[in-house]
Amino acid sequence: MKKLTMFLLVAILVLGASVIAGAVVVTLPDESQTTTFTATVAEQADVTVPATVTFTVNDVTTTTAGTGAVSATSIVLADTKTLKIYLQGDAASFTPPAAGGTTWDVGDVSWAAGAWTNGTGASGTLSNVAYNEVATSAANAPSTSSTITFTLAAKATADPAVKAGDHALTATWKFESL
Amino acid sequence: MKRRVIFFSIILFFFLTSSAFCLSFHIAPLSFKVKAEPGEVVNRTFTLSLKEGEGETYFRSFIEDWWRSEDQKNTFYRPAGTLKSSCGLWCTVNPVEEAVSGGETLKVRLTISVPPNARPGGYWTALTVNELPSPVKPEGVAISFLASVSIGILVEVPSVKREARIVGMKADEDFVWVKVKNLGNTLLRVTGKVNFLAPGEDKALFTSELISSASLPGEADPLVGGPVNPLEFRAPLPPDLSSGTYLVQAILDTDLEYYIGAEKILIIKGKN
């Protein structure tokens, strides 16, 4: 019985000593202990693009305007990085109402630099071989947005007549963080 | 008659307020920068979350090489493995195509397998997630828009050398252009500012930030029309800057442990 009691006493002493060795002894009161909280925030953004831009063409021999709103909000990027916005047409020309009919080329669509919130706009012409710059967000900007005015070029009267109906083109907005 | 009017009004209200007129989504992260040894396999996840109320939308994910034109205004994309310093062929994505409904999240798993014989340096490519076209076509003369997101992927295999030098400066009516040469073996991100001083003075009259924090390629790529080195970066002329002769200082941060700078006497044709 005596041996068991001695054994238990030694075990408690060793256990207590190891717990004490792993802890920090402070004299109360104490304000020296600190814990660092780290939040790892991924780069991210909310993006909104218009589904379509429609040109109401009442006179094919003059230019026609159409508008669409683009925005990137809740932008979180590493320090000084920016978000770039580009646009590229998916075909060399619009698809006319009837196959082989006269229509607009992709390069007949252009846009002005416009006024961008927290960003710099760039004027450009739509292309199907490269993404052309539309805007770059300001460094460390939390958001950037604009309503872009697109211009559809006039068709010369000497061309075969443009037929009334649906002329369609698809274009892709590119948001880049490269 | 009154019930019919109310019914059509409700339908019209729903049509006008539906999200068919735009596509909204949240994306994260916006870049992948990985340090990996030859033979190592690294996994990362890209997420795209459609906003509540969005209709079912199909997305395709793939890897492609990229570079920018010398004036930074255009970005070019080519199949993975096109460029000499591409890591596009090291990367796979899963899933390749998936439909996402409003309020749901697309999770794209990116796997990077560094070849055992990969040489030291930086290798880059891009993860692109494209919205696929809807079969519904608009009426009239119209452009249908799709969304695409391209996220830079940079894999650095030790040891990496970072070095850059300003090799030219010029000005036109709108911008000061600073030409920077990458002398290292990895991409560098370039940011900075341009100061405008009166000759003989030491205090800047105006300061303009570099517009783009773009990256530079390392060694020149043999692809004709491919990425160039050096690249030009531009800072807009301040709107209040008068025409005249200025000492223009470019101070750039190129991911090195120190800034690089250059100064030049330039004749500016300002807006005033």
Residue B124 and residue B38 share a domain: yes
- pLDDT, mean of residues B195-220: 81
**Total tally of structural domains belonging to chain B:** 2
Indicate whether B188 pLDDT > 90. no
Helices (H), B69-154: none
Note the pLDDT of residue B123: 94
Residue B249 in domain: yes
Per the CB < 8 Å rule, is A120 touching B26? no
Asked if the structure places residue B2 within a domain, the reply is: no
* Measured distance CA(B125)–CA(A55) in Å, rounded: 37
* Across A38-47, average pLDDT: 85
What pTM did the predictor assign? 0.79
Q: What is the pLDDT of residue B269?
A: 75
Mean pLDDT along residues B168-186:
90
Q: How far is A157 from chain B (nearest CA, A)?
A: 18
**What is the amino acid identity at position B208?**
S
The pLDDT tens digits for A55-76 are 999 988 899 999 988 888 888 8
**pLDDT band at B5; cut points 50, 70, 90:** very low
In this predicted structure, the answer to whether residue B32 has a pLDDT above a threshold of 80 is yes
User: What is the reported pLDDT for A12?
Assistant: 53
Residue A167 has its nearest CB partner, among B75, B141, B253, at B141
- Which CATH number goes with the domain that contains B129? 2.60.40.10
Kindly state whether residues B168 and B129 are assigned to the same domain. Answer: no
Q: In this structure, how many other beta carbons lie within 10 angstroms of the beta carbon of residue B3? A: 7
Nearest by Cα to B216 from B236, B193, B192, B232: B232
Domains identified in chain A, total number: 1
CA A102 to chain centre: 36
Q: Is B101 left (phi over 0), alpha (psi -120 to 50) or beta?
A: beta
Residues B174 and B75 in one domain: no
Q: Read off the pLDDT of each residue in B127-138 and give the average, rounded to a whole number.
A: 87
pLDDT at residue B158 in the model: 94
**Chain B: residue nearest A108 by CA?**
B143
Span A91-106, mean pLDDT? 92
Note whether residue B98 is domain-resident.
yes
Interface A-B: count of C-beta contacts within 8 A: 179
Phi-psi region of B271 (alpha: psi -120 to 50; beta: other; left: phi over 0): alpha
Find all residues with CB under 8 Å of A83, minimum gap 6, and list them.
A45, A72, A75, A77, A136, A137, A144, A175, A176, A177, B30
Residue in A closest to B29 by C-alpha? A43
Range 4-23 of A in CB contact (< 8 A) with B: none
